[in-house]
Chains A and B, each alone.
Chain A
Amino acid sequence: MDGVMTDEADTEALKRTPLYDCHVAADGRMVPFAGYEMPVQFEGVKPEHLWTRAHAGLFDVSHMGPCFLTLKGGPREGDAAHHAIASILEQLVPSDIAALKPGQSRLTVLLAEDGGILDDLIVTRPLAADRQGMLYIVVNGAVKERDFALIEATAGDKAELMRADDRILFALQGPEAEDVLSRHFPECRGLTFMQSQRMFWSDARCLVSRCGYTGEDGFEVLVPAEQGKTLVEVLLEDPRVKPIGLGARDSLRLEAGLCLYGHDLDPSRDPVEADLAWVIQKSRRMRGDFPGADRITKALADGPVEKRVGIRPLERAPAREGTEIHVGGTKVGVVTSGGFGPSVDGPVAMGYVRADLAEPGTAVHLMVRGKERPGEVCALPFTPANYKR
């Protein structure tokens, strides 16, 4: 059988996160991912997945692209500074960044000139009154060099981008994440979903955000590498916490209906067909002042040609990425992410179908290895979100 041995890609050129030794010590199986050697699993995808939904899972996401975009001259006080930095980023994204409240985060998309999606990212306005004129941005690891260059080019001489991907970025996700993390960051209890705050762990300045990529309540913490290693070790000593690899990260986010860039989102898709029109606030729709506004405004008005939907295979066979979706013998779409959902205890998928077939309950056929297998369009997520609102 194939697929047993690890990927034979050139591991020489791969980078390591500051938590590499920690993963190896925990028997993580290391694979190349987004230019880094990352753990795909520890104990196993299924037990790690179920542990995260029941307790707290710790994910190293230091391969991602955290950065700070700051007005020239540094952060300062006042809404005017926030509006100035927001207007720079808004040249690249269709969300209302200016309207963010202090400490609020928002999902948005980086757009190409034609309205195609170059990346999805989280943008946060600092909470502290003296840190305005600054945005905390986290982009995807695989495209971070391109994203950083694009943001820098757009900022010109008005703002500076400072990379923070030499630090540790980890996520603690699951129903017990708050109880675990609050032993080290008591203030984290005060955050609600998509809120962020600077906090200290002994003398380490950390950025704690209540967000994640699993559908569970949880946090992401940006922390300097040296202190971060100690913090992660301390967290892993808690019996409620286990390290979680990329495999379970993928099955968790798929059940939660969350997109994986490069698979469910790519430059050929615009936010409307990706079912992310909600990231375009009314103010931006009215102004129509973002890249690809013609295409996106038309898709908003007329509806998209294709739409991203959940797909539930009705038999046991998973429908993986690339599986064609057929109706009446004709191809009407394609699966962009698919696998087995341990919490659902069955196969789950998402993909794009012709917009007139996007209604939940629509019967489709999934072409798995040349055989038609029954499936249906379904609403996302597969598992209810447990965010703390």
Chain B
Amino acid sequence: MAVKYTEDHEWISVDGDVGTVGITKYAAEQLGDVVFVETPDSGSTYKKGDDMAVVESVKAASDVYAPVSGEITEGNPALAETPETVNEDPEGTGWFCKIKLSDAGELESLMDEAAYKSFCEGL
């Protein structure tokens, strides 16, 4: 199950036609302490690049964009009470939502792990 990355520091891990989405370790480190996450509602639909969620650190609020188009099947309920999970395990238990892909072809425009790593090194 391959993980793909966006230039806006979201990751998506696809299993069948459902992808789990979160923000990368790099993004979580840049943000600092996460104090609030607004995850999308189940059933809502997004196009690739839409504002989908909001993550707030002590400093500021940042939009999280949909890495692919699709329908939300689940937001991570744990983040409401423990937003710090995003710092502790951003690419694991700190996931934001699950999205049912409407166009799996969109994944091809995203970076694989090696490409994302070199992208971050260039920042």
Of A42-50, A205-213, A352-360, which stretch is located at the interface?
A42-50
A residues 334-389 near B (Cβ < 8 Å) are: 339-340, 342, 347, 369
Q: Does B18 contact A (CB under 8 A)?
A: no
* Count of chain B residues near A, Cβ 8 A: 28
Q: What separation, in Å, do the CA atoms of A316 and B54 have in the docked complex? A: 13
Q: Are B63 and A247 in contact (CB under 8 A)?
A: no
Q: In the complex, which of the residues B36, B63, B123 contacts A317, with contact meaning CB atoms closer than 8 Å?
A: B36
Known pairs A44-B33, A46-B33, A339-B59; A4 contacts B80 (CB<8 A): no
Known pairs A1-B55, A4-B9, A5-B123; A318 contacts B62 (CB<8 A): no
Residue of A with least CB distance to B58? A45
Q: In the complex, which of the residues A1, A316, A320 contacts B27, with contact meaning CB atoms closer than 8 Å?
A: A1
Q: Does A238 contact B (CB under 8 A)?
A: no
Q: What separation, in Å, do the CA atoms of A273 and B82 have in the docked complex? A: 38
Q: Does B112 contact A (CB under 8 A)?
A: no
Q: Does B104 contact A (CB under 8 A)?
A: no
CB-CB < 8 A to A302: which residues of B? none
Residue of B with least CB distance to A47? B33
CB-CB < 8 A to B58: which residues of A? 45-46, 49, 247, 251, 339-340, 342
CB-CB < 8 A to B46: which residues of A? none
CB distance from A94 to the nearest CB of B (A): 34
Known pairs A45-B32, A316-B83, A317-B56; A3 contacts B62 (CB<8 A): yes
Q: What separation, in Å, do the CA atoms of A3 and B9 have in the docked complex? A: 10
CB-CB < 8 A to A70: which residues of B? none
A residues 303-350 near B (Cβ < 8 Å) are: 316-318, 320, 339-340, 342, 347
Q: In the complex, which of the residues B35, B38, B64, B123 contacts A1, with contact meaning CB atoms closer than 8 Å?
A: B64
Known pairs A1-B27, A369-B54; A340 contacts B35 (CB<8 A): yes
Q: In the complex, which of the residues A1, A46, A318, A347 contacts B63, with contact meaning CB atoms closer than 8 Å?
A: A1
Residue of B with least CB distance to A246? B59
Q: In the complex, which of the residues A4, A41, A342 contacts B62, with contact meaning CB atoms closer than 8 Å?
A: A4
Q: What separation, in Å, do the CA atoms of A251 and B60 have in the docked complex? A: 11
CB-CB < 8 A to A317: which residues of B? 36, 38, 56
Q: Does B31 contact A (CB under 8 A)?
A: yes
CB distance from A368 to the nearest CB of B (A): 9
Q: What separation, in Å, do the CA atoms of A335 and B32 have in the docked complex? A: 23
Q: Does B8 contact A (CB under 8 A)?
A: yes
Q: Are B36 and A318 in contact (CB under 8 A)?
A: yes
CB-CB < 8 A to A223: which residues of B? none
Q: What separation, in Å, do the CA atoms of A339 and B56 have in the docked complex? A: 9
Q: In the complex, which of the residues A1, A44, A347 contacts B32, with contact meaning CB atoms closer than 8 Å?
A: A44
Residue of A with least CB distance to B83? A316
Q: Does A256 contact B (CB under 8 A)?
A: no
Q: Does A40 contact B (CB under 8 A)?
A: yes
Q: Could you give 21 example pairs across A and B, Cβ below 8 Å? A: A1-B10, A1-B23, A4-B8, A4-B26, A4-B27, A4-B31, A4-B62, A5-B123, A45-B57, A247-B58, A247-B59, A316-B36, A316-B83, A317-B56, A318-B56, A318-B61, A340-B35, A340-B58, A342-B33, A342-B58, A347-B36
The chain A residues found within 8 Å of chain B, CB to CB, are 1-5, 40-41, 44-46, 49, 247, 251, 316-318, 320, 339-340, 342, 347, 369
Known: A1-B8, A1-B10, A316-B80. 14 other contacts (CB 8 A): A1-B9, A1-B23, A4-B27, A5-B30, A44-B33, A49-B58, A247-B58, A247-B59, A318-B35, A318-B61, A320-B60, A340-B35, A340-B56, A340-B57
The chain B residues found within 8 Å of chain A, CB to CB, are 8-10, 23, 26-27, 30-33, 35-36, 38, 54-65, 80, 83, 123
